[in-house]
């Protein structure tokens, strides 16, 4: 099933639209809390098409991703009471407590790592809210991690990485499913 390819193609079509910066902001916001496709799939072609505006696009992506991470945090914080009975019914209380401890021990660094890497960031924004991670360190880690990632992408695209565009599309489903698998294995490992 080529879910990620379809979403990638949709994102690329948005990237060519005259209002692409607005779409980039929307995708960046949504990806930090619920949308499955990272904003890089719009950021990359936009930076390739207009290299003189690459850092502007990175700025838009960073700011809207940060705003979206606040929504993800709020989802985790506000919907937790609704989810808790399910956690109890499934006998996941001990595993949940391990995740809480993981955020207590590595909160800033785990958020920074998730913000910088292609790991689905939304999982960490929601988990940060659910585990009541302090908001200011969460925002700082998110800003630094997301900013570093998106400015790096803009820099690389500005340097002329058009030769990689076809390869990205060719392997986007493998990449998408691979990241999901890595996150599931990581969470399963930490929960054991």
Contact 102, 192 (CB under 8 A): no
Domain ranges of the chain: 3-191
Mean pLDDT of 128-147: 92
| 11 has a pLDDT exceeding 70 | no
How far is it, in rounded angstroms, from Cα 60 to Cα 43? 10
pLDDT recorded at residue 40: 85
Higher pLDDT, 119 or 156: 156
How far is it, in rounded angstroms, from Cα 34 to Cα 26? 12
pLDDT recorded at residue 185: 77
| 191 has a pLDDT exceeding 70 | no
Q: Which of 158, 97, 177 is nearest to 131 (CA)?
A: 97
How far is it, in rounded angstroms, from Cα 34 to Cα 75? 10
Residue partners of 14: CB distance under 8 A and separation at least 6: 20, 23, 24, 27, 42
Residue 113: band (very low, low, confident or very high) from pLDDT cuts 50, 70, 90: confident
Q: At what angle do helices 121-130 and 80-89 cross, to 10 degrees?
A: 90
For the chain, list the strands marked E by DSSP.
none
Read off φ and ψ for residue 168, nearest 5 degrees.
Answer: -60, -50
Residue 154: band (very low, low, confident or very high) from pLDDT cuts 50, 70, 90: very high
Residue 111: band (very low, low, confident or very high) from pLDDT cuts 50, 70, 90: confident
Tens digits of residue pLDDT in 55-101: 999 999 999 999 999 998 998 899 878 867 876 887 777 766 776 67
The pTM score is 0.72
How far is it, in rounded angstroms, from Cα 109 to Cα 135? 14
pLDDT recorded at residue 62: 97
């Amino acid at each position: 099933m080529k879910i990620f390819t379809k979403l990638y193609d949709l994102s690329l079509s948005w990237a060519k639209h005259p209002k692409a910066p607005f779409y980039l902001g929307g995708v960046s916001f949504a990806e930090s809390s619920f949308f499955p496709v990272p904003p890089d799939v719009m950021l990359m072609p936009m930076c390739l098409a207009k290299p003189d505006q690459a850092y502007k696009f990175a700025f838009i992506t960073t700011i809207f991703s940060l705003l979206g991470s606040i929504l993800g945090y709020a989802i985790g914080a506000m919907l937790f009471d609704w989810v808790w009975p399910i956690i109890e019914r499934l006998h996941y209380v001990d595993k949940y407590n391990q995740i809480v401890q993981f955020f207590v021990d590595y909160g800033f660094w785990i958020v920074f790592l998730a913000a910088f890497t292609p790991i689905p960031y939304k999982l960490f924004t929601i988990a940060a809210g659910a585990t009541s991670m302090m908001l200011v360190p969460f925002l700082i880690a998110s800003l630094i991690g997301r900013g570093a990632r998106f400015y790096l992408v803009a820099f690389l695209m500005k340097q002329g990485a058009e030769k990689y565009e076809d390869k990205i599309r060719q392997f986007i489903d493998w990449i998408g499913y691979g990241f999901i698998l890595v996150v599931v294995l990581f969470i399963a490992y930490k929960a054991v």
